[in-house]
Amino acid sequence: MLDTGATQSFITKTALTKTKHLPLNNNQQHYLMADGYTTFKVVGLVKIFIDINQIKTNIVVGVVDSLCTDCILGMNFINKYKVNINNKNKQIEIYTSNNKTTISMDDKIKDIITPCHLLNNTCIYPYQENTIKITLRLATGELLFSPAHQLIHKENLIIPHSFISIVNHIAWITVYNPTSRIRYLKSNTIIGTASFISSTKLYCYHFRFTAQHINTLLTHIEDQQQLKELLNVLKKHHSLFDTSKTTIAQTSMSHLICTGDNPPTTSKPYPQTIEKQNATYDTIQQMLKNKQIRASHSQYSAPVLLIKKRDGSYRFIVDYRKLNHITVQDNYPLPNLEQTIQIVGGCQHYTKLDLRSGYFQIPIREDDKHKTAFITVHGLYEFNVLAQGLKNSSPSFQRIMSNLLSPCKKFCLVYLDDILIFSNSFTQHVIHLNQVLAILNKHKFQLNPQKCELARTMINYLGHTISAERIEPLQERIEKILAIPQPRSLNQANAFIGAIGWYRKFINNYAKIAAPILAVTNLTKKNKHKFQWDTPQKEAFNELKIMITSKPLFLTYPDPHAPLILSTDASDYCIGGVLYQEINGERKNIYFHSQMLPKLQRKWPTIEKEALAIYYCVIRMKLYLLGREFIIQTDHCPLRDMHKKPSNNRRADRISLILQQYNIKEIRHVSGKCNCIADYLSRYPRQVEDDDEFFDPDFGYVPAIPSETTNKKASNNVVHSSSTIGAVITRAQAKAKVLPISSNHSNITTNTASLLDDQPRQEEGHEFDVLDRRKPVGLLHPLEPPLGPFQLIGIDFSGPFPITPQGNKYVLAITDYFTKWVIAIPLVNQTAQTTAEILYEYYICNYGVPNTIISDQGPHFNNQLITAFTKILGCHHIKSTPYHPQTNGAIERFNSTFERQIAKLTDQCINDWDIHLKSIVFAYNTGQHATTKFSPYELQFGRKPKLPPEKPPSYYEFSKPNDYFKFLQQTIQRYHNQARNNMKINQSNYKKIYDKNRLDIHYNPGDFVLKRLSTFPTKLSARYSNPMIVLKQQHPTYWIQDSDDKKIFQVHVSQLRTCNISPSI
């Protein structure tokens, strides 16, 4: 073979034995292949003699172990004999000093075929696809791989024909094991052959192999007309099934990585063994070839991990934890599994499509690719496609696929890379399949033929086997559960109960059987030592395995023409129910449910527990019941009419209101012996969390029906609603005497009028003296946590304290609302001038100007000097309402803390408190704050303080000068983000506690109110002022005016009370 791209000539050892040559010069050398980086070894140099048309030639050649042909004559031969290649005439002219000869070029070169050997021992587990490494005699090139048919038939494996790229004698192919047994392949096994072919022939091969994939998918179709229709559709979109090379989809949407203003995250490469370095290099080369990654110059870098799989190969994983920490969460929802299964159930034909390496087909936005950079000893690279391990990979993938297939939403469901098409007739199914494949083909997606199933009447999907008649557990999952040994630890027991609990809806009396295991699992860390696995647990373990294999183990789909019956029951500590239908005298079970009651609900009377059983079962089975008429069966007679009229039990009535959105045809009373299944389930239930708050009898009906009563306002202690007056009951009204509504009233209007007429009237003057024992009105309105330090501060004076020798008797405290960092300065006085000087000297000169300052309305803050001072600084000054310290709660909390500490530390003269003030402030700033869960010191400086007598803290070593700055930035940002989240959680929890049993009363301008008095001259003095008129409202703050002296007050709603008397009386 003449090769103009080869600088030297080469011959194989085998061919050398058949030629005339001089003695071999054993001079080992290494040469580069045409790709520029693949090397091959030359064992020595030798002069050979070649006769070409009776012209004798000779050339020094390198001897190698193998070549794609016997001998390659390179440029040293071409230049020596002035070889002229005449492509037009298909001739080669060779010149010597005396002669010239011409030989014809052979344009009918036979395909070069070389065997492919397995490089390592390989283990392929059931129903898994592995990418394995093969080795060839050729060092580099692109060839067509054909699997060894004898191996395929012997081991029952699926190995597709593919177009492979050889780099340094190495290539990669995929092998799929469709059986339930592990398959072992030994190294050096001939797994197939590779050959050079023309582009025309290559296309024919591609089409032929794609056709093989298509034919394999349709082997179960017996009807020839149906087979013809499906073949026409699949051949139209045959490129979807071409697995000879990888593809990247062309979509209008791509994966986004939003990191806000956070600085780039960096890491050093993890140390690796030589074996892992080589495996990393091979994987990188394969991904570069597939254009899944590219070389990077990014500021980001994430380390790479290689996790060894059971078959001995490695899984390539990038540790994106740092990047994920600063990535904004994408909350696009994944489909609800239970709802998905119900939607697709009952159809006649199903097709399941699986995307081949689905994530690697989704492109990343160009502006975000540099953020995916990963670092190895071989260099820095970044992904062009969606990588595993990125924070929002699943929501992003789901969004892209759902939007692409949205035109097919009525007959197509997408769950990540699984696409399910379902139809009620074969004709419809062919149309639906064509529409879905057309969209995928248009956007250049690639399917995995080995995992696709077409036009099936029964399909395995999301762990279930689904058909037109029933739904049952996936047999493969059942086999895995049966293979689980007896647990020896809490984690193993939790894993077993979690696996089998997935199919609890198929097992009658599941809760009874599993009760011994449930009693010892799901323990907290403190109670992990209580785990035990004794005889009851072993028996339950074995019985559950028996039940999961017992026949029949299936549930049926609801018949739209038969009535649904929900049978419920409650025992002392459990509830249960079963949904079923009676069809042709045969009972068809649709769903089983049982659960344990929380401790508080176990104390409820029978009627309330029976109503609760109805509620829990309806909610659990709402996918079947919403929009359908159904019958409820219960063995508690008083509940027969709960959906028609009140039952004189507040909890039962509240549940009946919640269930108004359901179409309950009838509630039947059946005796206990006729309600045996529900009765049995109620005595052997499952564990649930306590949600007794939801059924608090003193809690109004409002939260139960949010769609109808959201954001209802309370005014004058009355909840207003667009519905009838009896529709809602507030907590305060529930605790007061409830006026009974007799059943013989003529109509609602009459009832309402009689209720209003019977309202007791307050006598004149009585309201001013009433001691209100209810909680003050008004809900909590917490301030939004600042975005960073020293944006919002609170200031307040404490004192007077005993005068110290330095003359101090006041303390000015300044608190940052974000970090909770406190500055406290002892002062001689609390004048406005002192306040401005200290604020400037101790705060602004050290920390800068804050955005907002919160203070009370004391004369040292509420004056012209402070107003001018804050205006010049450009910060906003907020003054809290009088007698409402919650407005400036952070500073008030510190004041109460340091006053108690000063009392402990001062001596008998109690006048040296200013000596201890700095120590108290330091202790406060270095202690963990209950709200942020960090110390103010950590949030301020990004590190923990060194406290005596602690050991010296550990220090970090940084390779570059600015590494510490980046580290500090990232640490502080992480602390701040977590602290802000903790503050929000704390505010939310405290608001729930604070708002409990409080009315949220609103007043309008012109309303008359009473203002709570802060001091009482005597015990018999009035607790409230004379009536005042509301001038302005900015809820929960109001401006009111005294009707006598016209003085205006700014007050919080908690200081007001409704005045039911006109001031003119």
Predicted local confidence at residue 963, as pLDDT? 65
Confidence (pLDDT) at 738: 38
Of the candidates 187, 375, 184, which has an alpha carbon nearest to the alpha carbon of residue 284? 375
What residues does CATH 2.70.40.10 cover in the chain? 113-197
**pLDDT at residue 550 in the model:** 65
Q: State the maximum Cα–Cα separation within the chain, in Å, rounded to a whole number.
A: 140
The pLDDT value given to residue 298: 92
The pLDDT tens digits of the residues spanning 63-108 come to: 888 776 788 888 888 888 888 887 777 788 888 777 788 888 765 5
pLDDT of residue 888: 52
pLDDT score at 881:
63
Residue 439: the pLDDT is 92
Tell me: pLDDT of 1020 over 60. no
Cβ density class 637-663: b for 16+ within 10 Å, e for less: ebbeebbeeebebbbbbbbbbbbeebe
Residue 985 has pLDDT above 60, yes or no: yes
pLDDT digits (tens, 9 = 90+) for 168-221: 788 888 888 878 788 888 888 888 888 876 554 554 555 555 777 787 788 888
The type of residue at 785 is P
143, 385, 699 from 288: Cα distances, Å = 18, 12, 63
Phi, psi of 102 (to 5 degrees): -125, 135
Side chain identity, residue 806: Q
Tell me the per-residue pLDDT of 106-159, one tens digit each, with 9 for 90 and over.
Answer: 655 555 678 899 988 888 888 777 888 898 877 777 788 888 887 887 888 888
pLDDT-above-70 percentage for the chain: 76
**Angstrom distance (rounded) from CA 459 to CA 468:** 10
CATH superfamily of 557-697: Ribonuclease H-like superfamily/Ribonuclease H (3.30.420.10)
| Span 463-476, average pLDDT | 76
Q: Is the pLDDT of residue 399 over 80?
A: yes
| Whether residue 8 has pLDDT greater than 70 | yes
User: How far from the centroid of its chain's Cα atoms is residue 42's Cα?
Assistant: 56
Query: Where exactly does CATH 3.30.420.10 map onto the chain?
Result: 557-697, 792-967
pLDDT-derived band at 705 (thresholds 50, 70, 90) equals very low
Sign of CA pseudo-dihedral 604, 605, 610, 611? negative
Q: What is the pLDDT of residue 302?
A: 93
Which has the higher per-residue pLDDT, 1032 or 979? 1032
Residues of the chain with CATH 3.30.70.270: 274-460
Retrieve residue 839's tokens: 């604020």
Give the whole-angstrom CA distance, residue 713 versus residue 777: 13
What integer is the mean pLDDT of 809-832? 88
Q: Is the pLDDT of residue 741 over 50?
A: no
More confident residue, 887 or 813: 813
Q: What does the angle CA 793 – CA 799 – CA 805 come to, to the nearest 5 degrees? A: 115
The most confident of the ranges 331-340, 391-400, 909-918 is: 391-400
Q: Which residues of the chain form CATH 2.40.70?
A: 10-104
Provide the pLDDT confidence category of residue 293 given band limits of 50, 70 and 90. very high
Q: Are 497 and 545 in contact (CB under 8 A)?
A: no
pLDDT in tens, 924-979: 888 887 777 788 888 888 777 777 655 555 555 555 556 666 666 677 777 677 76
Q: How confident is the model at residue 777 (pLDDT cuts 50, 70, 90)?
A: low
What would the mean pLDDT of 995-1008 be, rounded to a whole number?
78
Could you tell me the CATH superfamily of domain 274-460?
Reverse transcriptase/Diguanylate cyclase domain (3.30.70.270)
Most confident residue range from 30-44, 389-403, 531-545, 1044-1058: 389-403
Say whether domain 792-967 belongs to CATH 3.30.428.10: no
Whether the per-residue pLDDT at 366 is higher than 50: the answer is yes
Cβ atoms < 10 Å from Cβ of 500: 24
b/e burial code for range 140-151 (CB count within 10 A of at least 16 → b): bbebbbbbbeeb
Give the pLDDT band (50/70/90) at residue 51: confident
pLDDT of amino acid 682: 55
CATH 2.30.30 positions along the chain are: 1008-1058
pTM (predicted TM-score): 0.46
Q: Give 901-964 as a DSSP string.
A: HHHHH--TT---HHHHHHHHHHHHHHSPPTTTSS-HHHHHHSSPPP-TTPPPPP----SSTTHH
Provide the pLDDT confidence category of residue 783 given band limits of 50, 70 and 90: low
Whether the CB-CB separation of 520 and 489 falls below 8 Å is answered with: no
User: With contact defined as beta carbons under 8 Å apart, do 585 and 637 qualify?
Assistant: no
Cα dihedral 180/182/185/190 (nearest 10): 0
Q: What is the pLDDT of residue 384?
A: 93
CATH 3.30.70 matches 473-549: yes
Instruction: Give the single-character DSSP code of 70.
Output: S
Instruction: Give the Cα-Cα-Cα angle 423, 424, 428 (nearest 5 degrees).
Output: 60
Q: Which CATH number applies to 1008-1058? A: 2.30.30
What integer pLDDT is reported at residue 365 of this predicted model? 92
Q: What number is the average pLDDT over the span 875-889? A: 66
The SS3 call for residue 1043 is coil
Q: What is the pLDDT of residue 599?
A: 78
Question: Is 113-197 in CATH node 2.70.40.10?
Answer: yes
What confidence tier does 303 reach under pLDDT thresholds 50, 70, 90? very high
Q: Give residue 958's pLDDT.
A: 55
Phi-psi region of 138 (alpha: psi -120 to 50; beta: other; left: phi over 0): beta
Question: Which CATH number does 10-104 carry?
Answer: 2.40.70
Percent of all residues in the chain with a pLDDT value above 90, rounded to a whole number = 7
More confident position, 462 or 247: 247
Residue 455's closest CA among 241, 234, 239, 235? 234
Mean pLDDT estimate for the chain? 76
Measured between alpha carbons, how far is residue 667 from residues 407, 519, 586, 981, 1013 in Å? 42, 34, 22, 47, 56
Predicted local confidence at residue 951, as pLDDT: 53
Distance CA 782, CA 27 (A): 84
pLDDT band (50, 70, 90) for residue 737: very low
The CA radius of gyration of the chain, in Å to the nearest whole number, is 41
Q: Letter for the amino acid at 435?
A: Q
Contact yes or no for 713/720 (Cβ under 8 A): yes
Q: Check: CB of residue 375 under 8 Å from CB of residue 267.
A: yes
890: pLDDT confidence band, cut at 50, 70 and 90? low
Neighbouring-strand partners of residue 93: 84, 102
